[in-house]
Each structure stands twice: as structure tokens, then as C-alpha cells.
Amino acid sequence: MSKRTDLISQITTNIAAHTSFAINEELPFLSGGIPLYEKNMRTIYVDEQQIAVDELYDTLDGQAVNQTTTTINAYLSVDAKEQLTDIDTVVANLLVARNGIANTIESTSDYETDIVNDVITYTFEYNFITV
């Protein structure tokens, strides 16, 4: 299984109690020039995973030990005019979803918000490091 699949599964578990939110397994592509997460508010979309491999160190026998960083973005848009009482809990549950990904030596998550035309878009970034 990919880290993206595992992350979607963990997010699904974490937001199960928040019935006004959903997660979609589709990629957050554009439909009519608008990202799906803006068309389908309160629905979380998880982007493709981006993988970067760096040489961690070289061993005496000439074999390199590599560090792989997998970065995955997720998106959630909500109506800025209608404040949701549980949005802080949903954001916290999305951030801790990184802890459900196995076989990593380090995992981090962060988010930023952007407000455009009365829509708040939360962009989450997850980083998973393996050796």
C-alpha cells in the first residue's frame, strides 16, 4: 500500500465523528477550471505523493544508504461566512493523521490557510521520512 492510501484511511478514521465532513479518494484535479475541493466544500482531497530520495551516507563497501522523503498535500475548503464549531478539532485530527503511517522514522504535518472569495482553503502538508 502507498503512503497516500494509508493517509486516506487514517484521515477517514479520524474524521468519522465529524459527519458534516467527508473525504474523497479522487485526486484534487480541476473541474471547469476550479479545484474539486473548492467545488465540494467540506470534502478532503489528498494529492499524489511526491517522493525525493537523498543519499544519507555512503558505507565502506560502496553501498549508499538512502533517505526517502514522501510529501503529500491534502486540501479542505469551507465557507468563510459560516463558521463551523468543530473546524479546530477537524484540523487537529487531520494533522495527527500522520501518526497512523507505519514504517517511518520521522513524520511531520503542517497546514496553511488561504481566503479567497469567502472560501477558506486549508492546505495540509505531510512529510514521511524512511531509510
pLDDT of amino acid 83: 81
CATH code (residue 99): 3.30.70.1700
pLDDT of amino acid 39: 93
| Report field, pTM of the whole predicted structure over 0.95 | no
Number of compact structural domains in the chain: 1
- Residue matched to cell numbers 497512523: 100
In this structure, what C-alpha cell is assigned to residue 44? 478532503
pLDDT of amino acid 105: 94
pLDDT of amino acid 57: 81
Residue 6 has pLDDT above 80, yes or no: yes
Q: What is the CA radius of gyration of the chain?
A: 17
pLDDT of amino acid 11: 97
Contact 62, 107 (CB under 8 A): no
Residues 51-90: tens digit of each pLDDT: 999 988 877 787 888 899 999 999 999 999 988 889 999 9
Domain that holds residue 49: 3-130
Residues 11-39: tens digit of each pLDDT: 999 999 999 999 999 999 999 899 999 99
pLDDT of amino acid 10: 97
Residues 97-119: tens digit of each pLDDT: 999 999 999 999 999 999 998 99
More confident residue, 55 or 42: 42
